[in-house]
Chain A
C-alpha cells in the first residue's frame, strides 16, 4: 500500500512544503498589492519564505529554484533593510508572481516524477536589474530617518557590517525539533547552512548529519547542538535561530565562556505550538484565518485513509441494519435488546456524521486562488476588476474541491474576459468604472451552490443563436427556445461567442469541459443573464460525493439505483400510449413532447423482468434538458446510498456510474443517466 505514495520521503516533504509556501506567498503578494505596498510584516514573511525555499531547494540540489529564490530573497532584503521609497510595487508583484509561477511549475514537474529542468536565469536577471534600480534610487533618496527605521526593524546584521574578526561572542545552542517532523538531520543542516552565511560555525553535534541517516534519530532524542561565533547579542542570535528553524520545539542557547565576555545566565525558551512556522505548514486548510498566536491543532492525513474510514463506517451502518432488522430477532420483542439497539443506532449515526465532517474542507483556499487570476487578467486586459468573495467558509467534500477548481477558474476567466465590458464601455453605460466579479458559495439543503456573478454586459440571446446556427448546434426552431435553453447553448462543445481568441479564453473548448467536470461530481450548471446588467452562472453540487439520494428500482432479480437529481417523474403508462417506429423503437408522448423509452431489462439483458407496459413503471429522467423514459419493473423506494466505484479490474461499463450496498448487504448498480440518454440519442 505504501508504495503507492511517493518513494522518496525527502522529495515528498520538499514538494509539500514548497507548495504550501508558494500558496502562502501568492496570498501575501495579492493582499499587499490590494493595500498598495508591502508592510514590514509581509516583507519579513516573504523574505522568510524565500529563504526557506532557497535552503531546501539547495539541499535537494534544485539549483534553478534555489537561485531564483536567492535573488528574490535579495530583492526583499533590499526592501527591508533600505526602506526604499518610490518603489514600483506592482512591478515587484509582477516579478515575484512570475517567480512563484516558475517555482510552482518546477514543483509540478517534480510531482509528476519528471526532472526539474526549467531555467530561471532570465528571471534572475530581471530581478537583479530591479534590485540595482531600487538601490540606485535609494542612494539618492537616503535620509537619516530611514536608517533609524532600519535599526528597529532588522533581525539580521547586514553582511557588510560584519567582518568575521569582530565576531567575538561564542554561543552554544541546543535545538529540539517537533516530534514527528521527520528528517531532523536535514533540518539541522539547514540551520547550520543559514548560520554559516553570516557567522562562523565552530562545531555541531552529531557531526555527520548529512551522510549518516541515523543522525536524525540522535537529534530526535538528544537535540541538535551547535556552537557558533558571532557578534550578535544572545537575544539576536535567539531571534535568528527561531526565525530560521522550521518545526522548532525547544531552543536552548547559552554563552560559551570567552574571556572577553561576562558569563551570561543560561536561558531557555520553550516554544508553544503557536509558532508561525507551524502555522505555515499546517496552512493547507486554514492558512487564511490562521493568525500567529492562535492555537492550532491540525494534522494532515492521507486522503486514502479517510476513504477507507468512510468505507468502514458505511459497512458498519449496513451490518448494523443486518443485525437489528434480522427477521428472527424482530419477532422476539426483547425490551433490553431494543434499548441496546437504539443506543447502537445513535452512536453509529453520530459516527457517520463525524466521518463525513472530517472530509469537509472550506472552499476558501480554492476561492482565494481566483484572486490571482482576476489580478493577472485585469492587468493584461486593461480592465479594472475586483473580485468579491462571499461565503468562502462553506465546506464541501475534499474530492469535490479537486474537481471544481478548474471549472471555477474557467468561469472566472470567462466572466472577466467576455462578461465585463471595457472601461470606456462601462463609463458610457453609466456603470462604475471597476467591474465586479462575485464568487459566492452557500449551503442549501444537501447541496452547495457556487455562484459566479458579473456586472458586465450579460449574454446576448441573438448573438448566441446566430453563433449556434453557424456552428450547426441549433436543432430546434429558435423561437421555441426558452431563455434558459438559449443560454445553455454556450455550454455545448464547439461554441464560442468571442470573435477574438485571447490568451485567457475564447477557444470554444472551455465551457463543455466545465460542464463535464461539474457533472463528474454530480453537479449541474444553470445560467441566468439579463442584458446590460450581467450574468449569473450557478453551479449546484452535492455536499458530498460519497452519499447521494437515489431511487432504487427493480428489474428482474436485480435492483438499480437512479440518482434522484435526475428523476423528473414516474408513472405507469398504458400500452396504447406507446408509439413504435418502423425500427421498433418505442416512444411516448408526454405533455406534447416525445421521449424515447429505454427498457432497462433489454438494456441490461435481464431475464425474468416485467415486459408488459402496464405492469411495470416508467421513470422519466432528464439531463441537460434531454429526457428519456426508463422502463423498470417496480420502484423500491428512495434512500441515501453510499457510492462506491466499480472494481478497477472491470474498468468502465457503459451506463453504470458505480455501485452501492443496500441495507441487506446486496450490491446495487447506480445508473449513469447522462450516458444512457446520450446512447439513446445515438441510436
Chain B
C-alpha cells in the first residue's frame, strides 16, 4: 500500500491532482474547507468510546478497521455549542504527520477547487474566536469558505496538555 503511494508520489501525479482542491463541510451557518491531501476518508457517525481525562472536544476513540483513532468534535473545538449528532453528521478522517484523527462535522458538502489567487488571509485582528484555526478565506461564486489549518487544529498548545502527569 505504502509502496504504491510512494510510486504515485514519485511520478508527481499525486500532488498535481490534489492541488487547490478542498473538501468543504458545513458547521452551523459557516462553510469550512480543508486541503484534500490531508483527508483519508469520510465515514458516518459511529459508536465512540469515551476515554477519561481528555478535553471535552476529544470525544473519544473509534475503531477504523482495526486502527484506533481519536475523534475530535470540531464544534466543541471552536467553542461552539454541542449539537446532537444526526444522520448528516460525518467524521472526516485526516492524516497529518503520521497522526490520524477523525473530525466530527455537521455535514460534508463537496470537493471543490479554489485557486490560490482566490484565497485571502484572514483578518489580522484577534476578534473572531476561531481565527486561530483559519489560515485563509476562499472566495467562490456564492460565498466564502473558511480554510482550516489542520496542523493548528491538532497541535495547538492546548492539545499539548493532553499528556497529563502520571
Interface residues of A (CB under 8 A from B): 1-2, 4, 311-312, 314-315, 318, 558, 603-605, 644-656, 659, 661, 665-669, 675
Could you write out 11 A-B pairs with CB less than 8 Å apart?
Answer: A2-B6, A315-B66, A645-B68, A646-B61, A647-B68, A647-B69, A647-B101, A651-B162, A651-B163, A652-B166, A656-B52
Contacts of B100 in A (CB 8 A): 647
> Is the contact region of chain B dominated by helix, strand, or loop, or is it mixed?
mixed
**A318–B68 alpha-carbon span in the complex (Å):** 14
Minimum distance in angstroms from B118 CB to a CB of chain A:
32
Cβ of B152 to closest chain A Cβ, rounded Å: 14
Contact: A649 with B49, CB < 8 Å?
A: no
What is the minimal beta-carbon distance from B30 to any residue of chain A, in angstroms? 25
Which of B52, B54, B66, B163 has the most chain A CB atoms closer than 10 A to its own CB? B66
The CA-CA distance from A2 to B100 in the complex, in Å, is: 17
Residues of A contacting B166 in the complex (Cβ-Cβ under 8 angstroms): 652, 654, 675
Residues of A within 8 A of B49 (CB): 558, 659, 666-669
Chain B interface bracket (under 10, 10 to 19, 20 to 34, 35 or more): 20 to 34
A605 touches B52 (CB 8 A): yes
B66 with A647: CB separation less than 8 A: no
Check if A649 sits within 8 Å of B154, measured CB to CB. yes
Residue of A nearest to B50 (CB): A558
Question: Would B67 and A650 count as touching, CB distance under 8 A?
Answer: no
Asked if A659 meets B61 with Cβ closer than 8 Å, knowing A314-B66, A647-B68, A650-B54, the reply is yes
Say how far B35's CB is from chain A's closest CB, in angstroms.
19
B82 → A minimal CB distance (Å): 15
Least CB distance from B130 to A in Å reads 20
Residue with the greatest number of chain A CB neighbours at <10 A, chosen from B6, B61, B101: B61
Knowing A314-B66, A659-B68, A661-B63, say if A654 contacts B99 (CB, 8 Å): no
B contact residues around A318 at 8 Å (CB)? 66
Distance between Cα atoms of A595 and B150 in the complex (Å): 48
Q: Is the CB of A669 within 8 A of B51?
A: yes
Q: How far is the CA of A666 from the CA of B62 in the complex (A)?
A: 8
- With A646-B51, A646-B61 as known contacts, state yes or no: A652 contacts B163, CB within 8 Å: yes
Q: Are A665 and B63 touching (Cβ within 8 A)?
A: yes
Complex contact B63–A667 (CB within 8 A): yes
Is A653 within 8 A of B67, CB to CB? no
Complex formed: what's the CA distance from A603 to B159 in Å? 22
Which A residue's beta carbon lies closest to that of B69? A647
What per-residue 1/0 map shows which CB atoms of B38-81 lie under 8 Å from chain A? 00000000010111111000100111011111100000000000
Q: Which residues of A contact B164 (CB under 8 A)?
A: 652-654
- Which residues of B are found within 8 Å of A649, using beta-carbon distances? 70, 99, 101, 154, 159, 162
Query: Nearest Cβ distance between residue B100 and chain A, in whole angstroms?
Result: 7
Rounded to whole Å, the gap between the CB of A215 and the closest CB of chain B is 22
Q: Is the CB of B162 within 8 A of A315?
A: no
Q: Once the chains are docked, how many angstroms separate the CA of A646 from the CA of B164?
A: 14
A648 partner residues in chain B, CB cutoff 8 A: 98-99
Please name the residue on chain A nearest to B6 by beta carbon. A2
Residue of A nearest to B47 (CB): A666
Most-contacted residue by chain B among A1, A645, A667, A669 (CB, 10 A): A667
Q: How far is the CB of A641 from chain B (nearest CB, A)?
A: 13
A655 to B51, CA, bound (A): 10
Residues of chain B from 93 to 114 with CB closer than 8 A to chain A in the complex: 98-101
Residue in chain B with minimal CB distance to A667: B49
Q: Report the minimal beta-carbon distance from B158 to chain A, rounded to whole angstroms.
A: 13
Query: In the complex, which residues of chain B have a beta carbon less than 8 angstroms from the beta carbon of A558?
Result: 49-50
The smallest C-beta distance from A312 to any residue of chain B, in angstroms, reads 7
Task: Note all chain B residues with C-beta closer than 8 A to A2.
Answer: 2, 6
What separation, in Å, do the CA atoms of A604 and B53 have in the docked complex?
8
